[in-house]
């Protein structure tokens, strides 16, 4: 066994973002990941549902764009060799959880890889709407959340992540993700989704 410490990272209590220049990206909050009977259940994911729901309520009220990614796989998907069958297109497990059901005006983007930007129209959607800031929530922290945050940062979008709005399979994965976003992508880590204000 190898044991390492995660270097420190900065966490702030609050951040204000201009509503017209901000989008919330909800990553893969689907039944297979969030529900205990799901095929790739993340035990800490259920605790993120309410913070994300409150964030989305404030975002929609302020006119902030909301984009969902929906991890999507098919019969012949090679990713099954890594994780087993999960979020198969059209199944219950593939559906976004009812508690965070997309609302009229929200956009749902299906993706086939970890990165929400890879092979999807997200970058175009953000650019045509003159978005500069992305608030990223969802699961799994060190996989789809981190790869999506990386792609946003590498395209020079500001990345904001609330600690209670993402979930991971292990505590190390959670802290390593937040350290990476803070240190490498110069993102903003907020203690709670409730600390994100839209102005």
Asked whether residue 107 is domain-assigned, the answer is yes
Asked whether residue 2 is domain-assigned, the answer is no
Asked whether residue 7 is domain-assigned, the answer is no
Contact 60, 92 (CB under 8 A): no
Asked whether residue 173 is domain-assigned, the answer is yes
The C-alpha angle 114, 119, 124, rounded to 5 degrees, equals: 115
The percent of residues above 70 in pLDDT, for the chain, comes to 100
- Section 119-131 average pLDDT: 98
Number of domains in the chain: 1
Asked whether residue 56 is domain-assigned, the answer is yes
Asked whether residue 29 is domain-assigned, the answer is yes
pLDDT band at 4 (very low <50, low <70, confident <90, very high): confident
Asked whether residue 43 is domain-assigned, the answer is yes
- Section 94-115 average pLDDT: 98
Asked whether residue 6 is domain-assigned, the answer is no
Query: What CATH number has the domain bearing residue 172?
Result: 3.40.50.850
pLDDT value for 142: 97
68-83 pLDDT, tens per residue? 999 999 999 999 999 9
Host domain of residue 42? 15-198
pLDDT band at 3 (very low <50, low <70, confident <90, very high): confident
How many angstroms separate the CA atoms of 174 and 39, rounded? Answer: 20
Active site members: 28, 111, 144
pLDDT band at 89 (very low <50, low <70, confident <90, very high): very high
């Amino acid at each position: 066994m190898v044991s390492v410490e995660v270097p420190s990272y900065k966490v702030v209590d609050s951040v204000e973002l201009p509503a017209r220049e901000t989008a919330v990206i909800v990553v893969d909050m689907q039944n297979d990941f969030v529900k205990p009977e799901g095929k790739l259940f993340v035990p800490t994911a259920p605790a993120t549902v309410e913070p994300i729901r409150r964030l989305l309520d404030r975002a929609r009220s302020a006119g902030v764009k909301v984009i969902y990614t929906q991890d999507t796989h098919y019969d012949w998907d090679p990713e099954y060799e890594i994780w087993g069958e999960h979020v198969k297109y059209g199944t219950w497990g593939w559906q976004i959880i009812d508690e965070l059901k997309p609302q009229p005006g929200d956009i749902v983007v299906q993706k086939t890889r970890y990165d929400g930007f890879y092979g999807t129209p997200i970058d175009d959607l953000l650019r045509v709407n003159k978005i500069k800031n992305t608030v990223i929530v969802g699961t799994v922290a060190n996989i789809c959340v981190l790869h999506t945050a990386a792609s946003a940062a590498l395209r020079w979008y500001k990345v904001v992540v609330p600690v209670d709005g993402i979930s991971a399979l292990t505590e190390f994965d959670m802290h390593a993700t937040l350290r990476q976003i803070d240190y490498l992508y110069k993102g903003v880590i907020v203690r709670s989704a409730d600390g994100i204000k839209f102005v």
